[in-house]
Amino acid sequence: MKYYEGMFILHNRDPRGEDEAEPDTPEVVVQKLIEKVGGTLGPSMLWANRKLAYPIHGNQTGTYVICYFSGESGTIDELNREVKLSDRCLRSMAIAVAALPKDDEMPEPLSEPASRSGRRFEGDTSAELGRDGEETRKIWELLDYKNPFVLRRMISAQGKLFSRVRSNLEAKSQRRLRTAVFRARNMALLPFVGR
């Protein structure tokens, strides 16, 4: 049995027909997809409802659902097939994880940072004192595809990743940054090119 973290993008159009009274919620749609392929659903949450970085099948906005589930090795191939056949799901991505998280370990819903100042991550325990007395963050701890606001600061205006000289990251963290940006672009959290 393997464990996975899945992110799903569902469209915001009203899917009701004449015979359907009330549409399923996004969490129920994802739960049905996972149960249909033989997976066991763990914790899930509605993560964000936001404008996509680029249109997907003519949709400008989407609802993001994050869920954790377990299944056999062929579950992901079957899930990808069901997502392609689904009329509500636009895109999905599943990443293998070591174990299912507890409810208090779930990621927080996506929200825009409060300010553009250097103190945007209040309560961050990974902060340390820099040369000039300002707090500097251990940026490699924030490199995750679910954190597009940090990733956006590591990309040039043309959409290229900063080099290691400019990002000031070691080689392992630079590879993590590359993977996180690739995943965020795949899930329409970041655009492929600059605007």
Least confident residue range of 2-6, 41-45, 131-135, 172-176: 131-135
Phi, psi dihedral angles at 129 (to 5 degrees):
-85, 125
Q: What pLDDT sits at residue 22?
A: 67
Side-chain-facing half-sphere of 106: CA atoms under 13 Å: 19
Rounded to an integer, what distance in angstroms lies between the CA atom of residue 187 and that of residue 184? 5
pTM exceeds 0.85 for this model? no
* Residue 126 near residue 33, CB atoms below 8 Å: no
Token pair for residue 67? 């869920």
Q: What pLDDT sits at residue 170?
A: 86
Model confidence over 46-82: pLDDT tens digits?
A: 998 999 999 998 899 999 999 999 999 889 999 999 9
Give the position of tokens 């250097």: 118
Model confidence over 91-148: pLDDT tens digits?
A: 999 999 998 888 777 787 877 765 544 444 443 434 443 444 333 446 656 788 988 8
Q: What pLDDT sits at residue 9?
A: 95
Rounded to an integer, what distance in angstroms lies between the CA atom of residue 152 and that of residue 146? 12
Q: What pLDDT sits at residue 187?
A: 93
- In the chain, the domains with their CATH numbers are 2-105 (3.30.70.60), 128-186 (4.10.640.10)
